Chain A
Amino acid sequence: QKEVEQNSGPLSVPEGAIASLNCTYSDRGSQSFFWYRQYSGKSPELIMSIYSNGDKEDGRFTAQLNKASQYVSLLIRDSQPSDSATYLCAVNEAGRRALTFGSGTRLQVQP
């Protein structure tokens, strides 16, 4: 069964540190990769998308993709308490008309 795997956490980092969130996927045909942030009691919101190998930076966020290793990660620099949330990795799968999501990693940024 095709899957998207994430460590559930919680991942705890001090304020100002780099938070590193990881995701692996099983479908080698996947082409599109997304990171969503979900605050408690809220709906997911898109924060990053990445389609090709390498790094993509947007402000304090960097998405990294390695298709050979079937691995995608999200780095959050200068972590803030407001970054505390669950981060969902989402992947397209060949033949599917919608994204497949991981269970999410809960991030806690300690002031």
Chain B
Amino acid sequence: ETGVTQTPRHLVMGMTNKKSLKCEQHLGHNAMYWYKQSAKKPLELMFVYSLEERVENNSVPSRFSPECPNSSHLFLHLHTLQPEDSALYLCASSQEAVNEKLFFGSGTQLSVL
């Protein structure tokens, strides 16, 4: 256990559905991240939050909407997704958002039909 918990582990959704991914960290960290991992491609940074403030948005389509209500919780709201959005979505946390070592959750394997 890394201290970062993600739910659900697996998600199948249609292109018209709305769903949310949840992440919770129990490490007392101040920064949280969403990464996308597709087959044969590097991990792609999506969003960075530091002390609940979004500090980096990596040109992610608006159909992905992050929310960070406090430093322990992070959500990724999904709507009107495309099949190419199917991937493993990883949440991570670190002590500070200054390129420190990341601790990853187990990920959500998302399939968009």
Contact = CB atoms under 8 A, between A and B. Distances in A.
Contacts of B98: 97
A100 B41 CA distance: 12
A46 B102 contact: yes
Contacts of B101: 34, 46, 49
How extensive is the interface on chain B, given as a class? Answer: 20 to 34
A87 interface: no
Nearest to B99: A92
Interface string B63-90: 0000000000000000000000000001
Contacts of A98: 33, 45, 48, 56, 97, 99, 102
A51 to B, nearest CB: 10
Q: Is the interface of B mostly helix, strand, loop or mixed?
A: loop
Contacts, number: 56
Interface string B21-43: 00000000001010000001111
Contacts of A8: 40
A43 B43 CA distance: 11
A4 B42 CA distance: 9
B90 A97 contact: no
A88 B104 contact: no
Contact of B97 (A34, A49, A90, A97): A97
Nearest to B91: A43
A60 interface: no
Contacts of B41: 103
A56 B2 CA distance: 23
A102 B101 CA distance: 15
A54 to B, nearest CB: 19
B104 A97 contact: no
Contacts of A14: none
A104 B56 CA distance: 24
A23 B97 CA distance: 23
Given A42-B106, A97-B56, A102-B42, 6 more contacts: A44-B102, A44-B104, A45-B2, A46-B101, A97-B50, A98-B56
